[in-house]
Amino acid sequence: MKGFLGPLRRLGGIRGYSGTFKRSQLRLEGVKDVIAVASGKGGVGKSTTAVNLAVALAKNCQLKVGLLDADVYGPSVPMMMKIDRKPDITEDKKMIPIENYGVKCMSMGFLVEKDAPIVWRGPMVMSALAKMTRGVDWGNLDILVVDMPPGTGDAQLTMTQNLQLSGALIVSTPQDIALMDARRGANMFSKVDVPILGFVENMSFFKCPHCGEPSFIFGKEGTRNAAASMGYKLIGEIPLEVDIRKGSDEGVPVVISAPDSVISKAYGDTAQNVVSKLEELAKEQSLHPEINL
Ligand code: ADP
């Protein structure tokens, strides 16, 4: 592998592997923390987790929360957050995020027709992502949750570099094929010095509605073990539940429709763990401030 990467590195073609990418120092004005919700693979429940986490952070932790749907090719936030209109524009030409369930949202899905295919080349994606971050009047936020595009390509690296991320949350199902990509995702963030807040295992188990027995459809404890093998913690376990899927399709996140359910508690605990981890990181940073020469 080393021999194969070496020549490419010298040509500058895969600079990320040699760790030359550095986090941008550009903060989003008024936004205290920006966190990425990422997965190596699509379909593992990254957007569902990002949406319920954002709502739980606002509702349970009483924070001012924004949700940026950076999954430009397959934006889910308009449907999951039941938002069906275009954002208003300020005098200085910034888009005003649209609020629902106590969360300020921005998504490419607000700007394009519902079923229109998004067939953009790289530079157009980059420019769209730039508009959706700095071209938005976020106001004062405690935390901006970014629903990242799946994978570890150009768009992900650009987002990671252009937002000074406080940390990243890796979402995976417990099966090997998803975990392999989750590890890749986690490695991408550490290459660019973004701390990993922890892993979230989605679709952990399915509790039979008839006998109450849990079934581990995608395997047991896979995410916990994968996280531990990289020195990270599992900070959330979300079951496979019809109500979660229904909530996504109907545009009412389960933390809103069933706030006292076991599932909402799982999202609430995850939100609390994210806040604790961010506090821990802030403390560490104040003890060891970066020296910018
Ligand atoms: P991704 O963002 O990783 O592509 P999504 O969040 O869009 O994945 O989820 C993919 C599908 O799985 C959606 O239909 C969603 O409603 C469903 N889903 C996600 N998490 C769960 C869960 N814990 N239980 C049941 N269905 C889920």
Q: How many CA atoms lie within 13 A of 227 on its CB side?
A: 23
Sign of the dihedral through C-alpha 252, 256, 257, 262: positive
Residues 80-139: tens digit of each pLDDT: 999 999 999 999 999 999 999 999 999 989 988 777 777 667 777 888 888 888 899 999
Confidence class for position 162, pLDDT limits 50, 70, 90: confident
Average pLDDT, the chain: 86
Q: Is 60 touching ligand 1 by the criterion CB < 6 Å?
A: no
Per the domain annotation, does 14 fall within a domain?
A: no
CATH number of the domain within which 209 lies = 3.40.50.300
Per the domain annotation, does 12 fall within a domain?
A: no
Distance 263 CA to ligand 1 centre (A): 14
Q: Residue 290: what pLDDT?
A: 61
More confident residue, 29 or 264: 264
Asked whether residue 286 carries a pLDDT value surpassing 90, the answer given is no
Per the domain annotation, does 24 fall within a domain?
A: no
Residue 88: which of 75, 65, 106, 74 has the closest Cα? 106
Distance 204 CA to ligand 1 centre (A): 12
Q: Whose CA is nearest to atom 13 of ligand 1?
A: 245
User: What one-character DSSP code corresponds to residue 193?
Assistant: T
Q: Is the CB of residue 17 less than 8 Å from the CB of residue 9?
A: yes
Give the integer Cα–Cα distance in Å for 288 and 171.
29
Distance 43 CA to ligand 1 centre (A): 6
Distance 27 CA to ligand 1 centre (A): 30
Instruction: Select from 48, 206, 217, 265 the residue to mutate for testing ligand 1; criterion: most ligand atoms less than 8 Å from CB.
Output: 48
List the domain range (segments joined by +) for residue 252. Answer: 29-291
Q: Is 172 touching ligand 1 by the criterion CB < 6 Å?
A: no
Distances (CA, A) of 90 to 16, 104, 108: 37, 15, 18
Per the domain annotation, does 16 fall within a domain?
A: no
Q: Is 43 touching ligand 1 by the criterion CB < 6 Å?
A: yes
Q: Is the CB of residue 53 less than 8 Å from the CB of residue 267?
A: yes
Q: Is the CB of residue 239 less than 8 Å from the CB of residue 206?
A: yes
- Please name the residues in contact with 60: beta carbons below 8 A apart, sequence gap of 6 or more: 255, 268, 271, 272
Per the domain annotation, does 23 fall within a domain?
A: no
Per the domain annotation, does 17 fall within a domain?
A: no
Confidence class for position 171, pLDDT limits 50, 70, 90: very high
Q: Is the CB of residue 83 less than 8 Å from the CB of residue 77?
A: yes
Instruction: Select from 76, 199, 206, 245 the residue to mutate for testing ligand 1; criterion: most ligand atoms less than 8 Å from CB.
Output: 245
Per the domain annotation, does 6 fall within a domain?
A: no
DSSP class per residue in 237-280: EE---HHHHHHHHHT--HHHHSTTSHHHHHHHHHHHHHHHHHHH
Per the domain annotation, does 21 fall within a domain?
A: no
Q: pTM here?
A: 0.88
How many distinct structural domains can be found in the chain? 1
Give the integer Cα–Cα distance in Å for 110 and 128.
12
Residues 188-244: tens digit of each pLDDT: 998 888 999 999 999 999 988 889 888 998 988 889 898 999 999 999 999 999 999
Give the integer Cα–Cα distance in Å for 227 and 229.
5
* Helix ranges restricted to H, the chain: 2-11, 46-59, 77-80, 122-133, 154-162, 176-191, 222-229, 242-250, 254-257, 262-287
Give the integer Cα–Cα distance in Å for 158 and 220.
34
Residues 247-284: tens digit of each pLDDT: 999 999 999 999 999 999 999 999 999 999 999 999 98
